[in-house]
Amino acid sequence: MLHVKELDVYYGGIHALRGISFDIEEGKIVTLIGGNGAGKTTTLRTISGLVTPKEGTIKFKNQNLLKIPSEKIVGQGVVQVPEGRRIFVELNVEENLMMGAYLRRDKQVIDEDLEYVYKIFPRLKERRRQMGGTLSGGEQQMLAIGRAIMSKPRLLMLDEPSMGLAPIIVEEIFECIKYLNDNGLTVLLVEQNANIALQLADVGYVIETGEIAFSGEAKSLLKDDRVRKAYLGEE
Amino acid sequence: MFMEQLSNGIALGSIYALTAIGFTMVYGIIRLINFVHGDIYMMGAFFALTGLTVLGLPLIPSFLLGMIGASIVGVLLAKFAYSPVFKAPRINLLLCAIGAAIFLENFAMLVWGPETQSFPTLIENKTYSIFGFKATTLQLIILGVSIALVLILTYIVKYTKLGRAMRCTSQDMEAAKLMGINTNRVVYFTFMIGSSLGAAAGVLVGMYYKAAYPMMGFTAGLKAFVSAVIGGIGNIPGAMLGGLIMGVSESLGAAYISSGYRDAIAFIILIFILLVKPSGILGKSVKEKV
Ligand SMILES: Nc1ncnc2c1ncn2[C@@H]1O[C@H](COP(=O)(O)OP(=O)(O)OP(=O)(O)O)[C@@H](O)[C@H]1O
Ligand SMILES: [Mg+2]
């Protein structure tokens, strides 16, 4: 479904991605794990068109995403839940959700999708008139995911959804990702928390200083010594 | 005397408010102290004057010509002077704004001449007195036009799709892009609205003082900046409030303290507000991003 080939990205003089390649099959959960500054966010930003790579190709369903301006990529169904959630703090919960549907015209289906989001996250429904900025971290993450669902994703990319959240909330968020995937959504999950990410995912890629160090079936990566040493804190 | 000064202050304040709104909107979207805004106001006055005297148009079409002409200038500047450096450090953008201001001032001198041009008298200026409150026709027109424009703006920002896109873009431009918002278009649209409000203020001032001159935007731009900061920069209601406070206190101050201090009063208020509430009256205190 998504094919990323030999991406090279620079920020000024900094070589952030050095020939990243990976593939995502439809219906799968693929995770990209790696430490601070490895290039995970940069990879997602490049797919969403927020940064332009120097080299490389990104193909989504046989379309060249690099030829599409960033604001149209969402319309293709490539939707991102950005690092740090980035919800609109001065809009209320429902307005935030509706911003996800900004490009859509199918009013009726939008209403159904809103109900779908409220069904997945009943807490958002209770707080629908509350300002985004007043939500707790976990609720903000739910809102960011809900907002992405409102964009009708075919590929949902999540950048460290577990960041800064209590384990019980993380579990809830990951349950939800699993639920969405069970309903047919393809997921690209970026995480520092390799343990939970690999348990959920089908396929894993390990990214180190802008390169894919190695990859494989998520379940086998969990048992891989290199992963256990570097990312699961085991000796 | 007090009543006359008060209505003069409110009229001036409405004009400052209109100017300050455009200023604060541009800041809210691209974090630029738009030094060219005062000159857009001047361009508005001159376009309207050209409509009245050279083209012989009636008042309302000339007024609209001023607003439309200046908003085209604003959008062209955004496109050709600012957008090439949007991604560069803010200081480059600021230098472009200063360069554009110098360009527009000289352009106006070239086209309309450096002298003060007089605005024709279009409206018979009568004084009305209601419940001891005294105001002239022009003052009432200034207030009425300002209120109407602010209502239209509020409607656009609050209830239209483009307005929602503007609010999102000013809160978080990158997140706005991820929603599918064409943020470049939002930026141009903001320049268009901001410039047309600034231009309306310029035309109103031209009618009020019956004069237009190429450097008229300089103090106006400065006062718009001060009004915006007093009210909380980036905040539209704040800019209106800041403008009104400036207009009224300037007018009362000039009458009761000394007219020589007229322009200094603006800065005294600014210093006072910044000491008491650095983020401005309606501004939110900026939290450090984690
Ligand atoms: N806007 C930027 N300007 C310059 N350098 C940047 C910018 N954004 C990221 N970088 C650099 O690019 C590299 C990759 O950063 P990136 O944010 O993609 O890492 P990450 O894997 O998401 O890390 P984290 O887990 O901490 O979020 C880092 O060395 C970072 O310093
Ligand atoms: Mg990151």
Q: Does the beta carbon of B164 lie under 8 angstroms from any beta carbon of chain A?
A: yes
Question: Residue A49: left if φ>0, alpha if ψ -120 to 50, beta else—which one?
Answer: left
Q: Which residues pair with A13 in a beta bridge?
A: none
pLDDT at residue B239 is higher than 50 = yes
* Residue where the block lists tokens 């891989």: A224
- pLDDT-derived band of residue B285, with 50, 70 and 90 as boundaries? low
Location of structure tokens 């656009």:
B156
Distance CA B146, CA B152 (A): 10
Could you give the CA distance from residue B24 to residue B280 in angstroms, rounded to a whole number? 12
- Residues A177, A179, A180, A182, CA torsion sign: positive
Domain ranges of chain B: 2-276
Helix segments in A183-234, DSSP class H: 194-200, 218-223, 225-230
Residue B115 distance to chain A (closest CA, Å):
47
Per-residue pLDDT of B30-40, as tens digits, reads 888 899 999 99
Q: Which residues pair with A64 in a beta bridge?
A: A59
Residue B31: enclosing H or E segment and its boundaries?
none
Q: What is the DSSP string of B189-241?
A: HHHHHHHHHHHHHHHHHHHHHTEE-TTHHHHHHHHHHHHHHHH-TT-HHHHHH
Tell me how long chain A is.
235
Q: In angstroms, rounded to a whole number, what is the distance separating the alpha carbons of residues B216 and B206? A: 9
| B177 has a chain A CB within 8 A of its CB | yes
User: CA-CA distance, B78 to B70, in Å (whole number)?
Assistant: 12
* A14 close to ligand 1 (CB < 6 Angstrom): yes
Helix residue spans in B31-133 (DSSP H): 37-53, 59-76, 90-112
Strand A78-81 and strand A155-159: the pairing is parallel
pLDDT above 90 coverage of chain B, percent: 71
Interface contact A80-B178, CB threshold 8 A:
yes
Predicted confidence at residue B288, as pLDDT, reads: 41
Within its chain, how far is the Cα of B255 from the centroid?
24
What pLDDT score was predicted for residue A235? 56
Instruction: Provide the CA A90 distance to its chain's centre, in angstroms.
Output: 23
B179 to A89: CB separation less than 8 angstroms, yes or no: no
Nearest residue on chain A to B175, alpha-carbon basis? A86
A193 lines ligand 1 (CB under 6 A): no
Residues of chain A with pLDDT under 50: none
Element (H, E) at A203: strand A203-208
We report the CATH number of the domain holding residue A166 as 3.40.50.300
Please check whether residue A139 is in contact with residue A96, taking contact to mean a CB–CB distance below 8 angstroms. Answer: no
Q: In the Cβ-directed half-sphere of A73, how many Cα atoms lie within 13 Å?
A: 28
B2-276: CATH number: 1.10.3470
Tokens of A11: 């920020």
Q: How many CB atoms lie within 10 A of CB B103?
A: 14
Is A209 inside any structural domain?
yes
| Residue B280 clears pLDDT 80, i.e. is over it | yes
Instruction: Identify whether A192 is part of a domain.
Output: yes
In a domain, A170, yes or no: yes
Q: The tokens of A223 are what?
A: 């048992």
Give the phi and the psi of residue A26 in degrees, each rounded to 5: -60, 135
Are A45 and A66 contacting, i.e. CB atoms less than 8 angstroms apart? no
pLDDT of residue B1: 76
Inter-chain residue contact A102 with B161, CB threshold 8 Å: yes
Compute, in angstroms, the gap from residue A206 CA to the centroid of ligand 2.
14
Q: Tell whether A171 is covered by a domain.
A: yes
Which band of pLDDT confidence, cut at 50, 70 and 90, is reported for residue B234? confident
Give the separation between CA B78 and CA B162, rounded to whole angstroms.
Answer: 18
Q: Is residue A48 part of a domain?
A: yes
Q: How far is the CA of A140 from the centre of ligand 2 (A)?
A: 17
- Please report which helix (H) or strand (E) contains residue B10, including its range: helix B2-30
- The whole-model pTM stands at 0.90
Three-class DSSP category at B63? helix
Query: How much is the pLDDT for B253?
Result: 87
Q: Is A41 in the pocket of ligand 1 (CB under 6 A)?
A: yes
Whether B174 and A103 lie within 8 Å, measured CB to CB: no
Q: Is residue A47 part of a domain?
A: yes
Read off φ and ψ for residue B262, nearest 5 degrees: -35, -60
DSSP string, B234-285: T-HHHHHHHHHHHHHHHHHHHHHT-GGGHHHHHHHHHHHHHHH-TT-SSPPP
- CB A36, CB A192: distance < 8 Å: yes
Residues 6+ apart with CB under 8 A from A73: A47, A48, A49, A65
Determine contact: B165 vs chain A, CB below 8 A. yes
- Residue A119 resides in a domain: no
Residues of A in contact with B165 (CB under 8 A): 102
Q: Is B222 on the interface with A (CB under 8 A)?
A: no
Q: How far is A54 from chain B (nearest CA, A)?
A: 17
In one-letter notation, the amino acid at residue B283 is G
Say yes or no: CB of residue A108 within 6 Å of ligand 1: no
A206 lies in which domain range? 2-84+146-230
Q: Smallest Cα–Cα separation from B219: which of B15, B66, B10, B69? A: B15
Would you state the structure tokens that stand for residue B258, as one six-digit string? 């000394």
Cβ of A179 below 6 Å from ligand 1: no
Ligand 1 center from residue A161 Cα (angstroms): 17
CA separation for the pair B190, B10 (Å, rounded)? 26
- For the record, the structure tokens of A140 come out as 């903000």
Which residues have beta carbons under 5 A from ligand 2 (an ion)? A 40-41, 83
| Residue A234 pLDDT | 64
Domain tally, chain A: 1
Centre of ligand 2 from the C-alpha of residue A37, in Å? 7
Distance CA A91, CA A40 (A): 28
CA dist., res. A15 & res. B50, Å (int): 55
Residue A78 lies in a domain: yes
3-state class percentages of chain A: helix first, strand second, coil last, to nearest 5: 40, 25, 30
Does B122 have pLDDT greater than 90? no
Looking at residue A56, its pLDDT comes to 94
The H or E element containing residue A31 is: strand A29-33
Q: What is the pLDDT of residue B227?
A: 94
Token pair in block for residue B123:
């409206």
Which one-letter amino acid corresponds to residue A164? G
Name the token pair of A112.
Answer: 């159904």
Strand partners, A29: A187
Ligand 1, atom 18, lies closest to the CA of A39
